[in-house]
Amino acid sequence: MTDRKPLKIAIASGKGGTGKTTLSTNLAAYIAEQEEVVLVDLDVEEPNSGLFFKGELIHEEAIFKMIPQWDETKCTLCGICPKVCNYHAVIQIGPTILVFPELCHSCYACSDLCPTAALPMIPKKTGTLRDFGIGNLHFVESLLDIGEAQAVPLISKTKKYVAANYGNVSITIFDSPPGTSCPVMEATKHADFVILVTEPTPFGLHDLSLAVETMRALARPFGVVINRYGIGNDEVIMYCREENIPVLAKIPNNRKIAELYSSGKLMYRDFPEVENSLSDILEYCVKEVKGGIA
């Protein structure tokens, strides 16, 4: 397993609570038994992966986004900045220019186009990144500050941190935010392979079909892992068959697994069938990506 190019696996789902974090944490811990691996929690609104690992904090940093700051002494009140901001994040009230940091998308238009350089961009904290070491496992998580509206800048900065620090580790797993909107796209668009986690229920099927559309829009190769297999019905399996989507593994519905999860414990060591599934999933990802690249 040493001669391959670094592999980036994203784990996603149409909605939260399907077992995305369970899979991410167990897969990472399983790989770490044999080799170095990075687990990155990009579900920055509700990061949960860290609850499963007690590691040593090796690095912590505040993450910033850039916003304009008005310099009254340089401003000529020309009226350009409120006109160029598409998000109404900068407005003019009488002789004052006001900036609304939560609305700002950091596009730099107002700052660059201000004729007198009266709107320099300054950093504003949006979240905190933490990097833990647990043996072979590097665990990186970012937490969005409460009241901060945009997850995407924090996600993209976290990815940059990982690329800069762990770019040559052979496997990186990204625990993605749920849903189908911008943050998911940001978290998965650079992945070599995406694993969609779902449940075999009507909600699970509906959310999966949205996630599949998202991955097709991004043109990412993907496969499905069915969690809590045994409850619900067969429609997810039938859907995957019809759509030609590989089902990488089925993790059984088991109250004991739910109990271990609820206490923040990894579970694959207690369930040989789950350990086998993890090995299958990993093998599939490696083969799929190698096949696709070569």
Partner 1 sequence: MREIVVISGKGGTGKTSITAAFAMLGGADVVVADCDVDAADMHLLMHPDYNFAEDFYSGEVAYIDQSNCIRCGKCVDVCHFDAISVKNKLFVVDPISCEGCGYCARVCPTKTIVNNDRLAGKWFISKIKSGSIMVHARLGIGADNSGKLVAKVKNEAKEIALEERKGFILVDGSPGIGCPVVSSLSGANFVVLVTEPSVSGLHDLKRVYELVKKFKIKAGCIINKADVNPGKCAEIVQFLSENDIVHLTDLPYDENFTKAMVLGQTMVEYDHGVLKAILTKIWEKVKQLSSG
Residue 152 binding ligand SF4, by CB under 6 A:
no
Cβ-based neighbour number of residue 133 at 10 Å? 14
Residue 205 binding ligand SF4, by CB under 6 A:
no
Nearer to partner 1, 73 or 263 (CB): 263
Residue in 24, 26, 106, 158 binding ligand SF4, rule: CB under 6 A: 106
Residue in 34, 59, 102, 108 binding ligand SF4, rule: CB under 6 A: 108
Residue 68 binding ligand SF4, by CB under 6 A:
yes
**Gap between the Cα atoms of 126 and 145, Å rounded:** 6
Kindly calculate the radius of gyration of the chain based on its CA atoms and give it in whole angstroms: 22
C-alpha distances in Å from residue 232, one per residue of 203, 237, 280: 10, 11, 24
Q: Determine which helix (DSSP H) or strand (DSSP E) holds 247, and give its type and residue range.
A: strand 247-252
Which value, to the nearest 10 degrees, does the dihedral of the CA atoms of residues 109, 115, 116, 121 take?
10
Give the shortest CB-105-to-ligand SF4 separation in angstroms. Answer: 4
**Gap between the Cα atoms of 32 and 165, Å rounded:** 18
Residue 75 binding ligand SF4, by CB under 6 A:
yes
Residue in 29, 109, 152, 282 binding ligand SF4, rule: CB under 6 A: 109
Q: Could you tell which of partner 1, ligand SF4, none binds residue 202, using a CB distance below 5 to 8 A set by kind?
A: partner 1
C-alpha distances in Å from residue 56, one per residue of 25, 38, 50, 257: 17, 14, 12, 26
Residue in 42, 97, 162, 185 binding ligand SF4, rule: CB under 6 A: 97
Cβ-based neighbour number of residue 16 at 10 Å? 16
Cβ(68)–Cβ(103) below 8 Å: no
Binding residues (CB under 8 A) for partner 1: these are 14-18, 21, 45-46, 48, 51, 84, 86-87, 105-109, 112-113, 144, 146-151, 177-182, 184-185, 189, 201-203, 206-207, 210, 213-214, 217-218, 231-233, 255, 258-259, 261-264
Q: Could you tell which of ligand SF4, partner 1, none binds residue 178, using a CB distance below 5 to 8 A set by kind?
A: partner 1
Give the shortest CB-129-to-ligand SF4 separation in angstroms. Answer: 22
**Gap between the Cα atoms of 194 and 192, Å rounded:** 7
User: What number of H helices and E strands is found in the chain?
Assistant: 9, 11
Give the shortest CB-290-to-partner 1 separation in angstroms. Answer: 26
C-alpha distances in Å from residue 104, one per residue of 18, 70, 206: 33, 14, 33
Of the chain, the end-to-end C-alpha distance in Å amounts to: 16
**Gap between the Cα atoms of 270 and 259, Å rounded:** 12
Residue 248 binding ligand SF4, by CB under 6 A:
no
Give the shortest CB-87-to-partner 1 separation in angstroms. Answer: 8
Cβ(266)–Cβ(52) below 8 Å: yes
Q: Could you tell which of ligand SF4, partner 1, none binds residue 28, using a CB distance below 5 to 8 A set by kind?
A: none
Residue in 34, 76, 96, 233 binding ligand SF4, rule: CB under 6 A: 76
Count of positions (residues) in the chain: 294
* Binding region for ligand SF4 (CB under 6 A) out of 70-78, 186-194, 202-210, 216-224: 70-78
Residue in 28, 38, 114, 155 binding ligand SF4, rule: CB under 6 A: 114
Residues binding ligand SF4 (CB under 6 A): 68, 70, 75-81, 84-85, 87, 89-90, 97, 99, 104-111, 114-116, 118-119
